[in-house]
Chains A and B, each alone.
Chain A
Amino acid sequence: MKFLREVLEDLRILREGTHLEVYLPKVLTKENAKDLWEKLEIEKSHPQTSLRFLAEALETVDSSGISCIAHFQRLQKEKGQGFELIGLKEEFQFLFQLATEKRSFESLRRLRLGTNERVGKYTIEKAQAVFDQIVYLGELTVSLFKSLRKPKLIRWKDSFQVAEAMGVNAFPIISLIGFLLGLIMSFQSTIPMRRFGAEIFVANLVGLSLFRELGPLMTAFILSGRSGSAFAAEIGTMKVSEEIDALTTMGLPPVQFLIVPRLIASLIVTPLLTVVFNLFGLLGVALVLYSFGFPFVTFINQVNIAVGANDILGGMLKSLFFGMVIAGMGCYRGLQTTIGAGAVGESTTKAVVSSIIIVSVLDGIFSVSFYYLGV
């Protein structure tokens, strides 16, 4: 590094009135081009300066050095002021010519879009996305009904494979989260309830919220993280490797061929897993209440009183719709995958985020409409 410093000292800038002489150092590379740049930037504040680079001493120069010189030449030209470069060695002339060529320079500003353009572009993109989603929804609905009318069209083998991966293999995590959620919720609520001697009503509280809200919702969240992302990645990879195109030109519509089996699997599996979630949730509640001295029979009786068939069926209905959203959204994001290394990752993320959002919104809509319907 010491060597470089000595070299830097060779750079001399002499000012004589409106005339600036720059003695270039022996070495001008990316290590010290910044130095020259900054020194000349300071000089820019002087009005009316003609610039002269003396390059006799220059022996080693790389792209950064040449670009630096070319930059100041261009600035001088734009301002209509003098520029001279003396003694640049023959071997660097080619690079210098290239750097000062007219077309070689593109302003960074031109690459960036203006605010209006960006707003317009964003609006068009979003409108297009909404349009695409509507088209997809229509296509999916048509395919699904066509398949339900003619069950032979469904690829049952694929459906069951997906159902296994999505359902059977998710059993441990669903049961674990269900158990823990029931346990934690009931434990947290038992402590304040105990002050009123109302511990037994924890069964009502947690039982109801599990069946009506938390069971379907948490199951949907877990499944969208676990399976929605898998759908998006799977189909996205197929998109990137042209397999979707290949299916299309074989006459096998990808929606019918890939997405309907996944949708059907999801429709079967999501309600079933919700049941599992609820069951293990209740187990957690039972354990907490047992530890507070209530026998199981009391707990079961209490739940029986609190939770009606309406609550259970309402929850099931919700989970059916959630299942549709998870599969539909996961596959949609997969089909939307563009080309490039990050594309699959991006669509996986989008699949999870958008299905969680839609599930939450849908859950809100269900709660309100159930309230007004008196369910």
Chain B
Amino acid sequence: MKENPLREKPIIRVSHLTTGYGTETIMQDISFNVNPGEIFGILGGSGCGKSTVLKNMIGLTQPFSGEIWIGDKNIVALQGKDRIFFWNQIGVMYQQSALFGSMSLLENIMLPLEEFANLPRGLRLEIAQLKLKMVGLESFGKLMPSELSGGMKKRAAIARAMALDPKILFLDEPSAGLDPITSVDLDYLIKNLSKNLGVTFVIVTHELPSVFEVADRVIVLDKDSKGIIAEGRPIDLKSSEERGFVHRFFNRIAAEETE
């Protein structure tokens, strides 16, 4: 179980983060931790700033203030080579998959290996095949991204994100634009990878049923209060009746489930 008494140090520590875009602040002084090996959900309605927080966490944009500790590095302060080294330690799956259109699936996965690992080509191919197997796409390696369905693209993107065996995988809206069945398949895949590989997942989403299914712990961001309005295990949050938004948010799934 995840709640062992000898809980390890958190793998991600976000403290007093204030962020936004342009001059507009959308999140004010938020702090949260992610423990190693867990599936962590960042929930929120659209436009509440969850993608902005994610972009800060993966080092694409800088927050206004605050610290983001990943492992033992404050990534807000990272420069040059350290930053690239940090990027090699994480994997990101983007909302639109972001596979490189001019390369086949195998080439997509082999690209980071080619650039950052000094391995013979045959071995790189072997590794790429293994990653495709992990996501159940082993027979599609030669296809171009444009020849894949939406769900397959997401799987391939996860495979590419895992190319360098990162300890943390960030997923931006994994179920966006997928039909419910494909989405459930993807949830199953995420759960499996987390269980078997011990990778920490950070999932940003607004899809409640999916995150409810997979996440060990979630935080709920709110646009109006510019902060975290709830934190905990999804099941606890669902039963708690404390705040309006959380209540509304979780009752909507309740309503959907009874339908």
B residues with CB within 8 A of A: 58-60, 83-85, 87-88, 90, 92, 94-96, 98-101, 111-112, 115-116
The answer to whether A243 has its CB under 8 Å from any CB of chain B is yes
CA distance A249 to B160 in the complex (A): 12
State whether A251 and B59 are in contact (beta carbons under 8 Å apart), knowing that A241-B98, A243-B101 are contacts in the complex: no
| A251, B161: Cα distance in complex, Å | 12
**Which residues of chain A are within 8 angstroms of B88 by Cβ–Cβ distance?**
250-251
Contact of B87 among A238, A241, A243, A249 (CB under 8 A): A249
Q: Is the CB of B98 within 8 A of A251?
A: no
A residues whose Cβ falls under 8 Å from a Cβ of B: 237-238, 241-243, 245-246, 248-253
State whether A249 touches B59 (Cβ < 8 A). yes
In the complex, what's the smallest C-beta–C-beta distance from A340 to chain B, in angstroms?
Answer: 14
Please name all residues of chain B whose beta carbon is closer than 8 Å to the beta carbon of A241 when the two chains form the complex.
96, 98, 101
State which of B60, B95, B115 has its C-beta within 8 Å of the C-beta of A252. Answer: B115
Q: Do B94 and A242 have beta carbons less than 8 Å apart?
A: yes
B89 to chain A, nearest CB (A): 9
Contact B116 A251 (CB under 8 A): yes
A250 to B87, CA, bound (A): 6
| Residues on the A chain within 8 Å of B90, using CB | 249
Shortest Cβ distance from residue A338 to the other chain B in the assembled complex, whole angstroms? 12
A253 to B60, CA, bound (A): 11
Judge whether B96 and A242 touch: CB under 8 Å.
Answer: yes
Quote the shortest CB–CB distance from B35 to chain A (angstroms). Answer: 22
Task: Enumerate chain B residues within 8 angstroms of A238, measured Cβ to Cβ.
Answer: 100-101
Q: Are the C-beta atoms of B94 and A250 separated by less than 8 Å?
A: no
Q: Please give me the residue from chain B that is nearest to A252 by CB atom.
A: B115
Cα distance, A252 to B111, chains bound together (Å):
10
Q: Which 10 A-B pairs have the closest CB atoms?
A: A251-B87, A246-B98, A242-B98, A251-B84, A242-B94, A249-B92, A243-B98, A251-B88, A250-B112, A242-B96
When chains A and B are docked, how far (Å) is the Cα of A251 from the Cα of B83? 8
Among B58, B59, B92, B95, the one with the most A-chain Cβ atoms within 10 Å of its Cβ is B92
- Given A243-B99, A249-B90, A250-B87, 10 more A-B residue pairs with CB atoms under 8 Å apart are A241-B96, A243-B98, A246-B92, A248-B60, A248-B87, A249-B87, A251-B83, A251-B112, A252-B112, A253-B84
User: How far, in whole Å, are A299 and B19 apart by their CA atoms in the complex?
Assistant: 70
- Of B60, B95, B96, B115, the residue contacting A251 (CB under 8 A) is B115
Inter-chain contacts of B98 with A (CB < 8 A): 241-243, 245-246
Find chain B residues with CB under 8 A from A249 CB.
58-60, 87, 90, 92
Q: Residues of B contacting A252 with CB < 8 Å?
A: 111-112, 115
A240's closest neighbor in chain B, by CB? B96
Which of B90, B96, B98 gathers the greatest number of chain A CB atoms within 10 Å?
B98
Chain B residue at smallest Cβ distance from A245:
B60
B22 to chain A, nearest CB (A): 11
Closest A residue to B61 by beta carbon equals: A245
Listed A/B pairs (26) with beta-carbon separation below 8 Å: A237-B101, A241-B98, A242-B95, A242-B96, A242-B98, A243-B99, A243-B101, A245-B92, A245-B98, A246-B100, A248-B60, A248-B87, A249-B58, A249-B87, A249-B92, A250-B87, A250-B88, A250-B111, A250-B112, A250-B115, A251-B83, A251-B84, A251-B85, A251-B87, A251-B88, A252-B111
- Report how far A245 CA is from B58 CA in the complex, Å: 10
Minimal beta-carbon separation of B129 from chain A (angstroms): 19
**Cα A250 to Cα B83 with chains together (Å):** 10
A228 to chain B, nearest CB (A): 19
Chain A nearest CB from B71 CB (Å) reads: 16
| Complex CA–CA separation, A248 to B85 (angstroms) | 12
Complex-state Cα separation, A33 to B248, whole angstroms: 40
| Residue numbers in B under 8 Å from A237 (CB-CB) | 101
